[in-house]
A and B are shown apart, each in its own frame.
Chain A
Amino acid sequence: MTKFSWRKAALVAAVVPMMALSACSSTGGKPAETGNAAGAGQAASTPRIKVALITHAAAGDTFWDIVRKGAEEAAAKDNVELLYTSDPEAGRQAQLIQQAIDQKVDGIAVTLAKPEALKDTLKKATDAGIPVVSLNAGEDVSAQMGAFTHFGSNEKLAGEAVGTRLAAENFKHPICVIQEQGHVGLEARCAGVKAKVPGTEILYVDGKDMTSVQSTATAKLQASKDADVIIGLGAPFTLTLLKSVTDAGSSAKVASFDLNADLAQKIVDGAVLFTVDQQPWLQGYSSVDAIWQNKRGGFKIGGGQSVLTGPSIVDKSNAANVLKFAQQGIR
C-alpha cells in the first residue's frame, strides 16, 4: 500500500475546487442583482423606536418568513428597530416576551397560539405601559390579553372558504393533509373544510420527512380511489402532493392553503386549483406599523376589533398578478 502523500493531497485539495468553480451553470442560480424593493424610499423622521415581534414560529417554517419580511419593511419605513424572536413552545415564548419587557421596548407584537401561557407576561407588559398588538393566532382572546387590535385571518374561516369553494365546484370527497398532527391551526383549517364538505377525510403525514409525505399521500390516493381533491396545508407540501397524485395515477385535483412563488406558478399553469392566502406579509407589516402609529399619536387602529388580512383566494384568475410578488418572497 502506497504511503499517504500529504503533498499530493494538498495539490488535489487546491486544484479540484478551482476546476469545480469553472464548471458553471448556464441557467438558474443566484440572480446577479438582487434589487431591494423596500429600500427605495426614505425612512420616517420620527425618533427611532424598538418593537419586538414574538411569534410561535417553529424553526424553518416558510410562512413566518413572509410575516417577518412584512415586519422588516414596516420597520425600515418607520425608523423602527425590529427585534424578531420566536419559539413554538408557549412557556418559552412567554420568556421571550419578558425579555422584551426587560429590554424596555416601545411595543410588542405577539402571536397568541397558546394565550393562557402568555397572559401573565402580557399583563406585565401592559402595566409597564408597553402597547401590545396580536397577529396571526388568538383572534378571540386578543382583547382580553391586553392587545389593542389583532391582525390575522381566522383559520376556521379560511377552511370554510376552501370548503365553500370546493362544494360550489361539486367536490364530494376531499382529503385534507395535515403535516403536523395536533397543530391547532392546521386542525382548524381542515375542520373548516369539513364543515362545508362533510365527506372530507384527514390524512396525517410526517412534515419532517418529505419523502414520507409523498409516499403516504400516494398510498392514501391508491387506497381511496374516489378521492376527488387533495388539499395541502402549506405551499411546499402541496407541491409534493402534486407528485403523489402522479405517482398514484389518481385523477384527484389539488388545492392548497398559503402561498409561495412555485405554488403561484402552478396555479397559473392550472396544476393547482386555488390557494387561500392569509397574506402573512400584511400581518407582519401591520403589527409593526400599528405600534408606530400608536407611538406617533396615540392612535389605535381597529376600533377594538380584529383587522382581517384574509382569507384571500388566489386562483387562475388572479395568480399571474400574485406570481410576481410571490417571486419577491412577499406573498
Chain B
Amino acid sequence: MTITQTKTPSAAADDRLAKRGPFQKLLGRPEIGALVGAIVLFVFFALVSPTFTQPNAFATVLYGSSTIGIMAVGVSLLMIGGEFDLSAGVAVISSALTASLFSWYFTTNVWVGVVLALVVSLSIGFINGWILVKTKLPSFIVTLATFLMLTGLNLGLTRLIGGGVSSPSISNMDGFKSAQAVFASSVNIGGVEVKITVFIWFALVAVATWVLMRTRVGNWIFAVGGDANAARAVGVPVKATKIGLFMAVGFCAWILGMHNLFAFDAVQSGEGVGNEFLYIIAAVIGGCLLTGGYGSAIGGAIGAFIFGMANKGIVYAQWNPDWFKFFLGLMLLLATIVNLIVKRRAELK
C-alpha cells in the first residue's frame, strides 16, 4: 500500500497564494482600521486645540475612555462570540447599588457588599446566558428584557431599601477607604494624576487579548461567534462558552460599578441607561463584526479611546455645545469609515 502524493493541487495552491509580507499581515488585523482612525482623530484634535496634548488633559481623555473601555472589553468578547448585551449599561449601576444598599442596610463592612456585588453581577451574566441557550431567542431580545427588569429593580429596590432615588452615603462605613483606594483612586505619574481605572482597563485588555489569542477558550469564542453549529459539531461547548461570555460582561460591570460607587458614594438609581450602545459602538469601531466571529479586545479598547477622544476633544476645542451630539456622531461615523477603508484595502491586496 502506498500513499500517493498528488503534485498538481500543490502547484496550483502555490500559484494562487501570493506571499503576504509582514506589512500586509499587519494591515489584515481587525484593529488596524481603528488604529488609523484613532491616530487621525488625535492629530486632528491636537491641531485644533492646544490644550488637548497637555499631559493632564490627556489623562482626562484616558479616564473618559477607560470608563467606556472597561465595559468594551467584555462587550467585545461577547460580540466576537456572536451575541449582544443590552443590559450592560444598567448592570453597572445594579452592581454598585447592590454593594451600597446591602452594606448600608445590614451595616456591614463595605467589602462584604463588594463581594456580594461580584456574585450578583456574575449571576446576572449567568442568567442572561442561560436564558439565551435555553430559549434560543436572539440575545437582543433576551438582554432587552433583562435591561428593562434591571432598570426597574434599580429604581424599585433603591426606593424600598434606601428610601429614595439614590443609594445612601456609605463613605463613613468601615472598609470604604480601602475599597476607594482599590477602585477609585489615582496614581501620580510624573506630576499627572492618572485615574486607576486606566490601569485596570489596560490590564483587562491584556488579559482578554491573551485569552482570545492564546487559549483554547479563545478559539472557542471565535468559533462560537463564527458558526455555532460548526463549533458544536466538532465538540466545542457552545452553551458554556456563551454563558461564560455573558459572565465576563458581568465581571466588567462589577469593576465599573465598584468604581462608580467608591468615586461618587451615592449612586443615582436611574443611571446607566443608554451606555450599552456606547460599549457596542466602541466594539464595532474597533473592528468587531456585528455578526460575530471576528474582532479583538484591543480593537474594542481603541474604539473606546476614539470615543473618549471625540467626547473630550470637542470640549477642548471649545465648539458650540448645542452641536455637541452632532459632532460626536460625525466623529464616530468618520472613524468607522476610515476603519472600513483600511480594512478593505488590506483585503484586496
A and B touch in the complex (CB under 8 A): yes
Q: Which residue of A lies closest to B324 (CB)?
A: A204
> Is B63 in contact with chain A by the CB < 8 A criterion?
yes
**In the complex, chain B residues whose CB is within 8 Å of the CB of A236:** 166, 264, 266, 268
Within the complex, the shortest CB–CB distance from B129 to chain A, in Å, comes to 18
**In the complex, chain A residues whose CB is within 8 Å of the CB of B316:** 219, 222-223
- CA–CA, A219 and B67, complex, Å: 15
> Is A127 in contact with chain B by the CB < 8 A criterion?
no
> Is A140 in contact with chain B by the CB < 8 A criterion?
no
Q: Is the CB of A59 within 8 A of B155?
A: yes
**In the complex, chain B residues whose CB is within 8 Å of the CB of A305:** none
**In the complex, chain B residues whose CB is within 8 Å of the CB of A60:** 154-155, 158, 165-166, 268-271
Q: Is the CB of B175 within 8 A of A216?
A: no
Within the complex, the shortest CB–CB distance from B48 to chain A, in Å, comes to 11
Q: Is the CB of A223 within 8 A of B173?
A: no
> Is B60 in contact with chain A by the CB < 8 A criterion?
yes
- CA–CA, A65 and B56, complex, Å: 38
Other-chain contact of B263, A26, A211, A218, A262 (Cβ < 8 Å): A211
Contacts A30-B104, A236-B268 hold; do A24 and B275 have CB atoms under 8 A apart? no
Contacts A23-B109, A28-B104, A236-B268 hold; do A329 and B164 have CB atoms under 8 A apart? yes
For chain B residues 293-328, which have a beta carbon within 8 Å of chain A? 308, 311-312, 315-316, 318, 321-322, 324-325
Other-chain contact of A223, B166, B175, B315, B321 (Cβ < 8 Å): B315
**In the complex, chain B residues whose CB is within 8 Å of the CB of A214:** 63, 263
- CA–CA, A28 and B155, complex, Å: 22
> Is B57 in contact with chain A by the CB < 8 A criterion?
yes
The majority secondary structure among interface residues of chain B is helix
**In the complex, chain A residues whose CB is within 8 Å of the CB of B275:** 208-209
- CA–CA, A218 and B175, complex, Å: 28
The interface size of chain A toward B, counting residues with CB under 8 Å, comes to 47
> Is B2 in contact with chain A by the CB < 8 A criterion?
no
> Is B226 in contact with chain A by the CB < 8 A criterion?
no
Q: Is the CB of A29 within 8 A of B173?
A: yes
Q: Which residue of B lies closest to A249 (CB)?
A: B56
For chain B residues 1-50, which have a beta carbon within 8 Å of chain A? 49
Other-chain contact of A215, B64, B164, B166, B174 (Cβ < 8 Å): B64
> Is B337 in contact with chain A by the CB < 8 A criterion?
no
Within the complex, the shortest CB–CB distance from A219 to chain B, in Å, comes to 4
Within the complex, the shortest CB–CB distance from B103 to chain A, in Å, comes to 7
Q: What per-residue 1/0 map shows which CB atoms of B97-134 lie under 8 Å from chain A?
A: 00000011111111110011000000000000000000
- CA–CA, A236 and B267, complex, Å: 9
> Is B343 in contact with chain A by the CB < 8 A criterion?
no
Q: What per-residue 1/0 map shows which CB atoms of B149-177 lie under 8 Å from chain A?
A: 00100110010000111101111111110
Kindly list 18 other residue pairs between chains A and B, CB separation below 8 angstroms, not including A24-B174, A28-B104, A30-B104.
A23-B112, A28-B172, A29-B108, A29-B173, A59-B155, A60-B165, A62-B164, A64-B165, A208-B271, A209-B67, A211-B259, A212-B64, A215-B63, A219-B316, A222-B57, A224-B318, A247-B193, A249-B56
Q: Can you list the 7 inter-chain pairs with the closest CB atoms, starting with the nearest?
A: A60-B270, A29-B107, A28-B173, A215-B64, A28-B172, A25-B174, A211-B67
